[in-house]
Amino acid sequence: MNKINRLFRENKNRKLLSLYFCAGCPTLEGTADVIKTLERRGIDMIEVGIPFSDPLADGPVIQSAGTTALRNGMTLEKLFSQLATVKDEVCIPLVLMGYLNVVMHFGIEDFFRRCVECGVSGCIIPDLPFEDYQVVVRPLADRYDVKVIMMITPETSEKRIRFIDEHTDGFIYMVSSAGITGTQSSFNDAKVGYFSRVEAMNLRNPRMIGFGIGNKQTLESAQAHAAGVIIGSKFVTLLNETGNPDIAMDRLQEALKH
């Protein structure tokens, strides 16, 4: 069974926590250490960002991390090589998050083949059109049992959400707002209403809420309406400030108490 499916199946009675960081930032060779540290610290799933020069869905924090990673020399080939070194040590699901241009340049089938070889369970491609996913990408992803995770936003219609739910597997990434990534001080009534509306749809796939989570209020608001949360910009900021994933985790846990 795919590790993502197993994670949700075996943890229905607790809220999951997934963290995002950008491969190659703050240092080129730090990817494996960050992954092993986060697993040791109890993180349930890790999203590893593939740096790209034009990250349309990302806010300034993650854009800056991507720029640093590219300057450091990070490439998708380099990332796969780094992931291969920890494949047999890491038990939690790893999800690659990157843009379609990078995947197509690498070769779509080669991408999924290398994912399997390096212990990657899923991917998120924010700019992948759903129609292209169904026709071109899904057959290859299914062949290698790599889950392609789709995003929904407050603007996504109920019909579209149900269509995505029917044709995907793993989990649905609920973006808290239609904007770019970045932490927020709180989620307003409209966003909480969106969380509740989707929750009431009783979808087949579990949902993880991301974008804007970095304190107690946003964490608990999201946890109340989904299987778990995804934290990106807050952790990337702390990792860049400290250069140490253990210290960054300490500071993240403290921030989530307030």
Task: Record the tokens describing residue 238, joined without a space.
Answer: 């702390």
Active site residue 58: yes
Residues in the chain with pLDDT values less than 70: 55-58, 178-185
CA distance 138 to 149: 11
Active site residue 155: no
What are the sequence ranges of the domains in the chain? Answer: 16-252
Residue of 58, 109, 127, 142 marked active site: 58
Task: Output the pTM of the full model.
Answer: 0.94
Cα 153 to chain centroid, rounded: 15
Q: Give per-residue burial for 21-37: e unless 16+ CB within 10 Å, then b.
A: bbbbbbebebbbebbeb
* DSSP secondary structure string for all residues of 171-230: -EEEESSSS-S---S---HHHHHHHHHHHTT--SS-EEEESS--SHHHHHHHHTTSSEEE
Phi (first) and psi of residue 136, to 5 degrees: -105, -50
DSSP E strands, the chain: 16-22, 45-49, 94-97, 122-124, 147-149, 151-152, 172-175, 207-210, 228-231
pLDDT, residue 182, reads 47
Can you name the CATH fold of 16-252? TIM Barrel (3.20.20)
CB 100 within 8 A of CB 125: yes
CB 159 within 8 A of CB 202: no
Sign of CA dihedral 66, 67, 71, 77: positive
Bond before 26 cis per omega within 30 degrees: yes
Question: Which 3 state secondary structure label does DSSP give 135?
Answer: helix
Sign of CA dihedral 66, 174, 190, 19: negative
Residue of 39, 44, 47, 169 marked active site: 47
